[in-house]
Amino acid sequence: MKKAAVAGALLLGMLVLSFWNIRYLDRFTDELTAGVELSRARCREGDLSGARRVLGEAKELWSSARGYTHIFIRHAEVDAAADAFCELFSALESENGEGAEGAYERLLYHIRCIDEMEHVTWEAVF
């Protein structure tokens, strides 16, 4: 009986931690997305220095979560998002921000993928 209770408690604990992880990741990716979208809006207005500054803040948020991302997110996704940040910075460094729109889309795609991968789906369970 004690073994069953311990097993049940462990299962419940894992379930609670899984939901906490999903909630944390949702807030994290929402904050990242908001920063990238604000940077995109500045870029569309022609304020490339403002776009780089705001994107730098989003990149700092990404970098500061390294302890979390390198443990809970697949390394391929972490690398792809980091590469997308670098590609976007390169596009914003050009004279008129040429190629930035596509780079914004790639970065946002990677952020969305990271968020969606951690959500529980029927296909993943059954």
CATH number at residue 41: 1.20.120
Q: Is residue 4 part of a domain?
A: no
Q: Is residue 7 part of a domain?
A: no
Is the separation of the CB atoms in 23 and 119 below 8 Å?
no
Q: Is residue 3 part of a domain?
A: no
Q: Is residue 45 part of a domain?
A: yes
Is the separation of the CB atoms in 56 and 86 below 8 Å?
no
Is the separation of the CB atoms in 55 and 39 below 8 Å?
yes
Instruction: For residue 31, give the nearest of 69, 68, 70, 57 by alpha carbon.
Output: 57
Q: Is residue 14 part of a domain?
A: no
Q: Is residue 6 part of a domain?
A: no
Per-residue pLDDT of the chain (126 residues; tens, 9 = 90+): 888 888 888 999 988 988 898 999 999 999 999 999 999 999 999 899 999 999 999 999 999 999 999 888 999 999 999 999 999 999 998 877 788 999 999 999 999 999 988 777 777 666
Q: Is residue 96 part of a domain?
A: yes
Q: Is residue 118 part of a domain?
A: yes
Q: By residue range, what is the domain housing residue 91?
A: 22-125
Whole-number Å distance between alpha carbons of 8 and 26: 27
DSSP H helices, the chain, are 2-44, 48-64, 66-72, 75-93, 100-117, 122-125
Is the separation of the CB atoms in 23 and 57 below 8 Å?
no
pLDDT of residue 94: 82
Question: What's the N-to-C CA distance of the chain in angstroms?
Answer: 29
Would you state the structure tokens that stand for residue 124, as one six-digit string?
């993943």
Number of separate domains in the chain: 1
Q: What is the DSSP letter of 1?
A: -
